[in-house]
């Protein structure tokens, strides 16, 4: 391969990035328009942009790719997709002829480049003689997870950047169990991806060629029908009155049609979809970013609900794996939950929705006689311990996993592999608005969880209670919990280095006090040890190996509160998870205890911000 000659100025400005830049400009498989885009940056001496585009190759993490769409090695584009897919294909080829025949199913969401990226990935798999099943139109992530197992595929790909801003796209890899890749497959696939050093190494057939050869087929409609049958089977109270009015927004994503179908099959008809956000549109023109975790994304939905006096507002992200729940409760909105209020509506956080769903599912099953000793629930280590206390009340075992539904699904898959008849998965959740409502999928399912949330809301209404009433009842029994999430965006090469410095600073010299509360222990999931407070320091580490290694630190405080910190696995940011509990007593009722927890969270937020500012 001919080396691209660069001026001394370019070499000085870009340093090690010149090798990746040269590869981009000289590789024959890189499209000409992508080369022109970079050549224009060179001609304009836009070195800052060139450094950002070439300081690394877009990292293929343990779940896949995610990045800004554009030309360059640190961007989402055709060459990067093809190169990564060739690595995935090489791993499949090593599994034998049957693996090729079983094939890979590919889904994509509404983002502007998603169909193109799906066809690029399909073309590489077909070029390696691997059967491909491609959805004809946009499809949800949970349906993709279901399709992998239903079709008996060796793996799956989903082209989505979930809730990221419109300039992003991504590429999630699934294995035959329907979950995103976990050990040992993740590291082995990573090794194969890294072994592909040139974009031109990707074997490729055009979409038309692969169709003619029968190597790309459409996903059969019966697959989608079977998925909805599984969603319908979640229903616990089909005969209850269904007088609950719903405003729903898919945030320009995949969710409108699946939500209509699922709720109709459950018998709920009072559905109003936000017209301005109903049509799939990868520009996401009405929101800054299509993230249902952020109340700003639900402004239009809440405004419409206010006009209609709708009971609940629901939202899913573009690939329909996350769910937000907002409820109408004028009294609570002016009282204990006013910090989460928007007019008469209260925006529930992911922990609150998860706690309500768990309590509803367990209490309803107990009342109906369908709660079994083998039923189990799973949550992540950064999710509220309120969930654990609810499960303990019902005598249901709850398991903790690392952050991410691939780990929740991994536990379920392991139970199946071991044939453990005394463990039947019932529900899983994490704080970031993710819920896995059944074992028919092995990832978050915003559509199935949405139906459960509607049924739960109808039950509350039929019994004359609100969601906030139910939460206060839970607080009275299990303590008043409030959680919060702080995300610090640190983009680019320097941002990545600073994230590392923040983690290392806490790991090397853990703080003895956080928000004027003594730290009792530091749990390090990367080093797999726990350091307990001893006088003005910490005792020798106590090793543990309950979970796989992960770059997560968790401070356990004297009052039972927790602070967790970890780099995001998919975005250039570091996350801090705050969890505070105030006990309820005769002198402190649930509402007042909850208010104290909310105030204490503000203190913890300031302490987190001070820590971040102290490490440059």
Return all residues near 178 (Cβ < 8 A) that are at least 6 apart.
Answer: 145, 146, 148, 149, 156, 409, 441, 442, 443
The Cα 135–Cα 151 span in angstroms is: 13
CATH 2.40.50 fits 480-614, yes or no: no
Q: Flag whether pLDDT at 98 surpasses 60.
A: yes
Tell me which of 30-39, 58-67, 248-257 is least confident: 58-67
Place of tokens 């369908």: 370
Look up the CATH number of domain 59-219: 3.40.120.10
Classified as helix, coil or strand, 495 is helix
Alpha-carbon distance of 524 to 213, in angstroms, equals: 52
Q: What is the pLDDT of residues 226-244, one digit of tens each?
A: 999 999 999 999 999 999 9
Element containing residue 553 per DSSP (H, E): strand 553-557
The backbone torsions φ and ψ at residue 365, rounded to the nearest 5 degrees and listed phi first, read: -60, -40
Active-site annotation holder among 73, 145, 162, 550? 162
Highest mean pLDDT among 57-66, 292-301, 573-582: 292-301
pLDDT, average across residues 170-178? 97
- Confidence class for position 102, pLDDT limits 50, 70, 90: very high
List the chain domain ranges: 1-55, 59-219, 244-465, 480-614
**Burial class (CB within 10 angstroms; exposed 0-12, middle 13-18, buried 19+) of 299:** middle
% of residues, the chain, pLDDT over 70: 99
Determine the Cα–Cα distance for residues 533 and 512; give it in Å rounded to an integer: 8
- Predicted confidence at residue 172, as pLDDT, reads 96
Q: Are 265 and 306 in contact (CB under 8 A)?
A: no
Nearest 10 degrees: Cα torsion 238, 244, 247, 248: -10
Q: What is the pTM of this model?
A: 0.93
Cβ(354)–Cβ(325) under 8 Å? no
- Helices (DSSP H) in 324-404: which residue ranges? 330-334, 350-368, 386-393
- On the question of pLDDT at 200 being above 80, the answer is yes
Mean pLDDT score, 579-599: 93
3-state helix, strand, coil in the chain (%, to 5): 45, 20, 35
Of 44, 48, 58, 53, nearest to 72 by C-alpha is 53
pLDDT bucket at 62, cuts 50 / 70 / 90: low
Q: How far apart are CA 77 and CA 121, in angstroms?
A: 11
CA distance 547 to 552: 11
- Options 3.40.50.1000, 3.40.120.10, 3.30.450.40, 1.10.3720.10; CATH of 244-465: 3.40.120.10
Exposure string of 451-474, with b = 16+ CB inside 10 Å and e = fewer, is: bbbbbbbbbbbeeeebbbebbbeb
The SS3 of residue 77 is coil
Q: How many CB atoms lie within 10 A of CB 485?
A: 16
261-307 pLDDT, tens per residue? 999 999 999 999 999 999 999 999 999 999 999 999 999 999 999 99
pLDDT of amino acid 1: 42
Q: What is the mean pLDDT of the chain?
A: 94
Measure the CA–CA gap between 310 and 355, rounded to whole angstroms. 23
Rounded CA gap, 593 and 582, in Å? 6
**In the structure, what pLDDT confidence band is assigned to residue 570 with cuts at 50, 70 and 90?**
low
Same fold, 244-465 and 480-614: no
Decide: 306 and 445 in contact? Cβ < 8 Å.
no
Among 114, 125, 305, smallest CA distance to 207 is for: 125
For this structure, is 162 an active site residue? yes
The pLDDT, as a whole number, for residue 63 is 75
């Amino acid at each position: 391969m001919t080396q691209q000659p660069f001026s001394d100025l370019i070499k000085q400005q870009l340093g090690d990035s010149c090798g990746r830049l040269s590869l981009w400009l000289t590789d024959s498989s890189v499209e000409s328009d992508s080369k022109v885009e970079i050549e224009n940056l060179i001609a304009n001496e836009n070195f800052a942009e060139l450094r950002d585009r070439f300081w690394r190759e877009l990292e293929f993490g343990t779940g896949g790719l995610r990045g800004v769409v554009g030309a360059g090695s640190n961007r989402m584009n055709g060459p990067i997709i093809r190169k990564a897919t060739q690595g995935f294909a090489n791993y499949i080829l090593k599994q034998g002829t049957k693996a090729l025949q079983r094939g890979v199913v590919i889904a994509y969401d509404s983002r502007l480049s998603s169909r193109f990226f799906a066809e690029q990935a399909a073309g590489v798999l077909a070029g390696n003689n691997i059967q491909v099943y491609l959805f004809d139109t946009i499809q949800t992530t949970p349906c993709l997870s279901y399709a992998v197992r239903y079709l008996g595929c060796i793996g799956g790909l989903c082209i989505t950047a979930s809730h990221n801003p419109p300039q992003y796209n991504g590429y999630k890899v699934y294995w035959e169990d329907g979950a995103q890749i976990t050990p040992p497959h993740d590291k082995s696939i990573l090794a194969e991806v890294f072994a592909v050093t040139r974009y031109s190494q990707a074997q490729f057939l055009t979409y038309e060629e692969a169709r003619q050869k029968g190597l790309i087929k459409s996903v059969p409609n019966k697959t989608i029908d079977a998925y909805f049958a599984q969603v319908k089977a979640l229903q616990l109270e089909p005969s209850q009155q269904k007088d609950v009015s719903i405003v729903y927004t898919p945030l320009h994503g995949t969710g409108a049609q699946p939500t209509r179908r699922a709720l109709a099959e459950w018998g709920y008809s009072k559905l109003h979809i936000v017209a301005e956000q109903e049509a799939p549109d990868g520009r996401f023109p009405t929101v800054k970013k299509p993230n249902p975790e952020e109340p700003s994304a639900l402004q239009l939905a809440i405004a419409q609900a206010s006009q209609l006096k709708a009971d609940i507002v629901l939202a899913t992200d573009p690939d329909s794996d996350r769910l937000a729940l907002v409820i109408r409760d004028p009294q609570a909105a002016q009282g204990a939950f006013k910090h989460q209020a928007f007019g008469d509506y209260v925006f529930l956080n992911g922990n609150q929705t998860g706690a309500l769903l768990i309590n509803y599912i367990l209490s309803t099953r107990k009342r109906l006689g369908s709660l079994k000793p083998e039923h189990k629930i799973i949550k992540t280590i950064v999710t509220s311990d309120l969930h654990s206390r609810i499960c303990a009340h019902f005598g249901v075992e709850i398991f903790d996993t690392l952050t991410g539904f691939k780990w929740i699904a991994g536990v379920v898959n392991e139970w199946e592999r071991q044939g453990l008849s005394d463990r039947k998965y019932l529900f899983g959740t994490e704080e970031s608005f993710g819920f896995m409502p059944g074992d028919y999928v092995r990832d978050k399912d915003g559509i199935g969880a949405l139906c459960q949330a509607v049924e739960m809301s109808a039950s509350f209404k039929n019994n004359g209670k609100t969601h906030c009433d139910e939460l206060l009842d839970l607080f009275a029994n299990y303590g008043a919990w409030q959680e919060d999430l702080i995300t610090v965006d640190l983009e680019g090469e320097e941002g990545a280095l600073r994230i590392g410095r923040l983690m290392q600073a806490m790991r090397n010299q853990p703080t003895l006090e956080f928000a004027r509360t003594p730290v009792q222990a530091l749990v390090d999931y990367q080093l797999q040890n726990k350091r307990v407070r001893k006088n003005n320091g910490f005792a020798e580490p106590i090793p543990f190996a309950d979970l796989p290694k992960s770059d997560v630190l968790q401070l356990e405080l004297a009052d039972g509160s927790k602070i967790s910190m970890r780099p995001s696995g998919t975005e250039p940011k570091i996350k801090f998870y705050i969890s505070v509990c105030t006990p309820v007593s005769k002198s402190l009722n649930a509402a007042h205890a909850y208010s104290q927890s909310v105030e204490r969270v503000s203190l913890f937020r300031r302490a987190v911000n001070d820590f971040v500012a102290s490490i440059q």
